[in-house]
Chains A and B, each alone.
Chain A
Amino acid sequence: MTDRRDRPEQAAPAVVNPWEFLRDYTTARIALGRAGSSLPTNRHLDFQLAHARARDAVQSELDMATLAGDISALGYETLRLHSAAPDRATYLQRPDLGRRLDEASHRLLDHNERAGGTAFIVADGLSALAVQRHAPAMLEAILSRLDPKAWSVAPIALVEQGRVAISDEIGALLGAELAVILIGERPGLSSPDSLGIYLTYGPQVGNTDADRNCISNIRAAGLSYPEAAHRLHHLMTSARRLGLSGVTLKDDSDALVEPAEASRLRRNFLVDEQ
C-alpha cells in the first residue's frame, strides 16, 4: 500500500482564481476556482450543505411548546392556532389553505372576546427555523418599545402552516386595528433563517399584498432586531395616525438598513481610475 504523500503526481488540486480576495467584498459565490471547467469538490459540497440546510428549514416544524414558553416569558398570553393546510406538502401546493384558519382555530377565536388594539401573530411560513430563532427576541424588541398607555396588545397568536394573509382573518376575529405578523421567509441558499414582518391596518379577509408593509431579512447577517423594531414602530405609529397601510404608507424611517455582511468595497474598481 502506498501512502498518498509518496505519489504527489496524483494530487489533483483545483485551479485557484487569482481574484479570490474579492470574496471578502461580496456575499456572491465568486472566484470558486475550477476543476477542469467545473466546480471544485469543496465548493460543490459547500453548495450541497447550504441547500440541505435551506431544504431542512422549509421542512422544519414549529416547536409550539417552546415558542409559547419563550413568548409567555415576555408576559403575554398566547393562542395556539393552525391554518387550513393540514401538513407541509399541502401547504406548499395550496397557498389558499395557508391563508385561512382551520375550523377549530376559527371557532376558538370567534368565541374569544374581541381584544382590539394590535394583534401580533407568529407563523412558521416557509421557515419554522427562522421563527424559532428570531421571533421571541424580535417580539421583545418591539413590545418593549410600545408605551402601554398608547398601545393595547391582543393575546399573541401562534400559527402552524400559516401564510402572511392569515393575519387578516386572525386580526379581524380579534377585532384588531393593526395586524403584525412575524413569519419565516422563503429560505435563501445562505439564509435559511430569515424572518419577515408584515403590517396591515384594518385586517380583514380579502386584503392584498398592496395593503401591507413589509420588513424583510431579519437574521444574524441581515437586519438586526433593534433596527427592525425601529422601523416597525415607525410604521405602526404612522399607520395608526394615517389610518392606512400598504403602498400609500411610505417607510421613511431613518434606520440604516444595510446588511452587516454588505461589502466594504463601495466603488466599482473595474472603471475607477487608480
Chain B
Amino acid sequence: MTAYRYNLSNRAYTFVNLRELLAKATPLRSGDVLAGIAAADAEERVAAQMALAELPLKAFLNEAVIPYEDDEVTRLIVDEHDAEAFEPISSLTVGDFRNWLLSENADEETLARLAPGLTPEMVAAVSKIMRLQDLILVAQRCRVVTRFRNTIGLAERMATRLQPNDPTDNPGGIAASILDGLLYGSGDAVIGINPATDSLRNVSELLVMLDAIISKYQIPTQSCVLTHITTSIEAINRGAPVDLVFQSIAGTEAANASFGADLALLQEGYEAALALGRGTLGDNVMYFETGQGSALSADAHHGVDQQTLEARSYAVARKFRPLLVNTVVGFIGPEYLFDGKQITRAGLEDHFCGKLLGVPMGCDVCYTNHAEADQDDMDALLTLLGVAGCSYIMGIPGSDDVMLNYQSTSFHDALYVRQVLGLRPAPEFEAWLERMGIFDDAMQPQLTDSLPEPFRQALAGVSHD
C-alpha cells in the first residue's frame, strides 16, 4: 500500500493509505470524529484535500478502501467497473476531474456515458474537494430517468413520495393522510408506508389497501410498503400486489449484513418483483434507502469515512436498476451529522454522488429533534436540492412523521419548491392531477371548495360515522 504525502511550507503531511487520505480530506462531520478518523485540525484537512487533488483517478483502480477478499461490495465495484467508459478521463487526477466536471465538456450525454466507468470512491473523492455550488452545478447536468407507472427524473420535474405513516397502521389514519397528500398534489414517486408492524399479515393488508386505492382512482403511480426484503419476497410468493421491493442498504458487506441483506438476497427480491411485471411504462422495480453513518452505527465501517461508504451504497443500488434511491440524510442523528450545516452538505454530496454514478437520487430532507437543525435548515437544503435537480423528495402531512418521530418535507414544501423553481410533477401524474381537477394547471392547486367528485363521494360516508 502506498503512503500519500503532501508538503506545506510549514509541515509535511503523510497519509498512510487511500482510506486515511479520503477520511482526512472529508469536510468536518461528527460521525468521522466519533469514528476517530477525521483530520486532526483544519489545516490537515486541506492538506489531505490537496494531496487528494493530485491523485490520479487510476489509483482508485489499484487500491481498494476495503480489501477485495473481505467485502462483496468491493468485489461488485471492481468486477463491474467499465474500463471503456472510464477511458476518456483515465489520465486525469482528482483535481483535474473536478475541473473537467465543471467545464462545458461535461454535458448530459457525456456524463451518462461516463457513469459505468466511475467508481464510488472516485466520485466521493472529487466531491470532497467541491463546494456546494460545484455539487449543484454538476448534479444539475446529470439525468437519470426511471419508469414504473410514470416517469421519474425528467428535467424541470420533481416528484414526491407520499408518506402516510400511522403509529398503529390504522387504515383510516393512513387513508386520511393519503387523501390529504393527493389533494396537495403529492405521490408521483411512490405512495410508500413505513409499517409500524412488520408482520407478513400486516404488510400484505397494507399492500392490498394501496393497490385498491391506486386502481380505484386510476392514479399513475406505484406503491411500496417499506418492510424488510424477505417480507416483500414472502408477500410476493403469497400473491400480494407488490409494486416496488424496498430495502435499506449500505456501503459495506458487514453493514448490509446488519440489515439482514446481501447482494444475493437483493437479486432474489429484484427478480421476484420483475417477474410480477406490474409496471406499465417500465420495469424499475426497486426502492432503496441509504444514509451517511449507517455503517458506523453498525460498527461495520472498516475505518472508511461515512461519505465514501455512502457513495459505495450507490454501487449496490445501481446493480439493481432501482426506480428510486433516497438518502435519509438527517434521520440518523447528531452523532453522525451534527447540525444543519453538516446535514446540508451531506444531502448535496449524496445527491451529486448518486446522480454521477447513474442512480435515480432523491432525498429525505429531514432532521430529528436532538440535532442542531430546524425548518429553516430544511428550507435551505430543499431549495438547493431543487436547483440541483433532485429527482424526488418526501411529502409528509405538516412535516411531522407521527410514526417515525422525525421531521421531513411536507406537501406544502413540495408546492413551495415547485412554485419558486418552476418544477412540475411527473408528466403522467401531472395529467392525472389536472384530470381530477386537483391542479388547475401544472403550478396552482385548485381551490379546495370544489373537491374532485370521486373523493367527495368517499368523504360523504365518513362524516356520518
Contacts and interface: CB of A to CB of B under 8 A. Distances in A.
Contacts of A30: 176-177, 179-180, 397-398
Contact of A268 (B209, B333, B402, B455): B209
B306 to A, nearest CB: 14
B30 A93 contact: yes
A29 B174 contact: no
A195 to B, nearest CB: 14
A269 to B, nearest CB: 5
A94 B335 CA distance: 6
Interface in A4-35: 15-19, 21-22, 25-32, 34
A157 to B, nearest CB: 23
Given A47-B400, A189-B405, A274-B461, A26 B369 contact: no
Interface in B410-459: 410, 412, 415-416, 419, 444-445, 447-449, 451, 455, 457-459
Nearest to B374: A51
Contacts of A39: 398, 410, 412
A40 to B, nearest CB: 9
Interface string B169-202: 0111111111110011000000000000000000
B400 A190 contact: yes
Contact of A262 (B167, B213, B397): B167
A95 B333 CA distance: 11
B412 A34 contact: yes
A18 B462 CA distance: 13
B375 interface: yes
Interface string A46-72: 011011001101100000000000000
B40 interface: no
Contacts of A95: 34, 335
Contact of A32 (B173, B212, B397): B397
Most buried by B among A95, A265, A270: A270
A17 B170 contact: no
Nearest to A50: B400
B413 to A, nearest CB: 9
A247 to B, nearest CB: 12
B386 interface: no
Interface string A80-93: 00000000000011
Contact of B399 (A15, A18, A29, A192): A29
A51 B375 contact: yes
Given A47-B400, A126-B370, A93 B375 contact: no
B389 interface: no
A186 B368 contact: yes
Best-buried of B176, B415, B457, B461 by chain A (most CB within 10 Å): B176
Contacts of B399: 29, 47
B243 to A, nearest CB: 16
Contact of B447 (A15, A38, A192): A15
A107 to B, nearest CB: 27
Contacts of A55: 369
B338 interface: yes
Contacts of A241: none
Q: How large is the interface on A (under 10, 10 to 19, 20 to 34, 35 or more residues)?
A: 35 or more
Nearest to B450: A18
Given A29-B397, A186-B405, A189-B407, A18 B449 contact: yes
Contacts of B85: none
A36 B459 CA distance: 24
B221 to A, nearest CB: 14
Given A265-B465, A274-B461, A25 B176 contact: yes
A32 B166 CA distance: 17
Nearest to B444: A37
B153 interface: no
B33 interface: yes
A168 B380 CA distance: 42
Given A28-B398, A92-B334, A269 B370 contact: no
B338 to A, nearest CB: 6
- Interface-central residue, A43, A48, A188, A269, by most chain B CB under 10 Å: A269
B168 A270 contact: no
B238 interface: no
B164 interface: yes
B175 A19 contact: no
A26 B177 contact: yes
B460 interface: yes
Nearest to A268: B171
A15 B375 CA distance: 22
Contacts of A48: 375
Contact of B462 (A36, A58, A265): A265
A263 interface: yes
B463 interface: yes
Q: Which of B179, B407, B462 has the most CB of A within 10 A?
A: B462
B143 to A, nearest CB: 27
Contacts of B170: 26, 262-263, 265-266
B370 A271 contact: no
B216 interface: yes
Given A93-B33, A268-B172, A274-B460, A22 B451 contact: no
Contacts of A111: none
B412 A271 contact: no
Interface string A247-274: 0000000000011001111111111101
A266 B171 contact: yes
9 contacts: A27-B173, A28-B176, A92-B335, A189-B400, A267-B172, A269-B172, A270-B458, A271-B216, A274-B457
Interface of B: 30, 33-34, 164-168, 170-180, 183-184, 209, 212-213, 216-217, 333-335, 338, 368-370, 374-375, 397-400, 402, 405-407, 410, 412, 415-416, 419, 444-445, 447-449, 451, 455, 457-463, 465
Given A29-B410, A30-B180, A34-B184, 8 more contacts: A25-B173, A37-B416, A37-B445, A38-B412, A188-B406, A189-B400, A258-B168, A263-B173
